[in-house]
Amino acid sequence: MLHALDGSAVRRWGEVSVLALTANRAALDRINVFPVADNDTGTNLVRTLRSAVLRLERNPAGDPESALSVFAEGALHGAVGNSGLLLAQMLRGFALGARERPVVNGRCFRSALERGHELAAASVAEPVEGSMLTVLRAAVDACEDGTELSAAVHAATTAAITALRRTPEQRPELAAAGVVDAGGRGLLLVLDALHAVVRDGGRLVPEVPDPGDAVVPAAHGHDSAYSYEVMYLLSEVRATAGELRERLGRIGDCVSVADTGESTGVGSSADLWAVHVHCDDVGAAIEIGVELGRPHGIRVTRFADQPAAGNTGNGDGRQA
């Protein structure tokens, strides 16, 4: 068992996370009904973590502080979808929290994970219960200062399992579809990957059962009030994150604005932000970016072009 993370352990965490998310990608897409049933949570998380691992491969680091910073930077630059951006912000906060302690051990783990929750929650215009943030909060609360790293990671992962199982009680959309929150399930796979790295391969979470060819009821398919997802990076920012969220909130929902901390290392300043919104007027979303900074890396997804996903209602995603 590991008593502290080093650069090699961070890299293995990323690699094992990508493997777990890839194995469960289709099933996670199928159980994606909140906040929008756009059937892409698994795909978005895989793409986000692959970007993070690729950044680590190109910029190998032996010390955990540098490795975590590079890992988070890669995730933020490659973040796809709301779930990808939240996961990237969690990793960025974890990296910031780790910088505050000389060793990334059990004492550091809780504070790093808590910082991750703070940044992820701060990036969302309207945080809600029964989501990825709920699962992450439960993981933080289960950790105790002073415990060994393996014990802290085990407690966090176990608590996340329990919190995930309760998400249908907190979101009527999940209860109606008979599934748990897809983003929370993806986060749990990432925590379980860390559990495997720290505890010599020990896993707590089975794969999400494959839903096969079952069909999601029409009521749960692409039920966004808006037609497009718009994401971009914003540099040379001339506004606060709150102002940007407020402007985007006038034209859409699922608004997230995350400071990437790009200028001098993760968490240093708001020179580069990652922006996410669901809306009907793509031009307006981009124009807001032009008015408040310099948008680039613009990505637009039309929900109608997303493949429909299936759900049997027989427990897909429930096992945790």
pLDDT in tens, 82-112: 899 999 999 999 999 888 777 889 889 999 9
Q: Are residues 286 and 255 in the same domain?
A: yes
Q: Structure tokens of 222?
A: 């692409």
Q: Are residues 118 and 183 in the same domain?
A: yes
Look at residues 209, 240, 273 and tell me which one is the last residue of a structural domain.
209
Q: Are residues 158 and 277 in the same domain?
A: no
Distance of alpha carbon 40 from alpha carbon 56, whole angstroms: 25
Structural domain count, the chain: 2
Look at residues 177, 209, 241 and tell me which one is the last residue of a structural domain.
209
In the prediction, which pLDDT does 208 show?
55
Distance of alpha carbon 320 from alpha carbon 318, whole angstroms: 6
Predicted TM-score of the model (pTM): 0.82
**99 sits in which H/E element:** helix 81-99
How many residues are there in the chain? 320
Provide the 10 A C-beta neighbour count for residue 225.
11
Q: Are residues 149 and 272 in the same domain?
A: no
Q: What is the CA radius of gyration of the chain?
A: 18
Q: Are residues 34 and 182 in the same domain?
A: yes
Q: Is residue 320 part of a domain?
A: no
pLDDT above 90 coverage of the chain, percent: 54
pLDDT in tens, 35-67: 777 778 999 999 999 999 999 999 888 889 999
Q: Are residues 21 and 159 in the same domain?
A: yes
Q: Structure tokens of 242?
A: 């709150």
User: Mean pLDDT across the stretch 200-218?
Assistant: 56
In the prediction, which pLDDT does 216 show?
43
For 214, residues 6+ apart whose C-beta sits below 8 A from its C-beta are 310, 311, 312, 313
Q: Is residue 315 part of a domain?
A: no
State phi, psi for 80 to the nearest 5 degrees: -125, 130
pLDDT in tens, 246-294: 999 999 988 888 876 653 244 334 478 889 899 999 999 999 999 999 9
User: In terms of residue numbers, what domain contains 38?
Assistant: 7-209
In the prediction, which pLDDT does 209 show?
52
For 28, residues 6+ apart whose C-beta sits below 8 A from its C-beta are 21, 41, 42, 45, 182, 185, 186, 208, 317
CATH number, domain with residue 300: 3.30.70
Closest to 228 measured CA to CA, from 162, 303, 158: 303
pLDDT, mean over the chain: 84
Q: Are residues 27 and 121 in the same domain?
A: yes
Distance of alpha carbon 45 from alpha carbon 208, whole angstroms: 15
pLDDT class for 123, splitting at 50, 70, 90? confident
Distance of alpha carbon 89 from alpha carbon 259, whole angstroms: 8
CATH number, domain with residue 168: 1.25.40.340
Cβ contact 276:80 at 8 Å: no
In the prediction, which pLDDT does 290 show?
94
Which residue do the tokens 């910088």 mark? 99
Q: Structure tokens of 138?
A: 């439960």
Q: Is the peptide bond before 102 cis (omega within 30 degrees of 0)?
A: no
In the prediction, which pLDDT does 308 show?
53
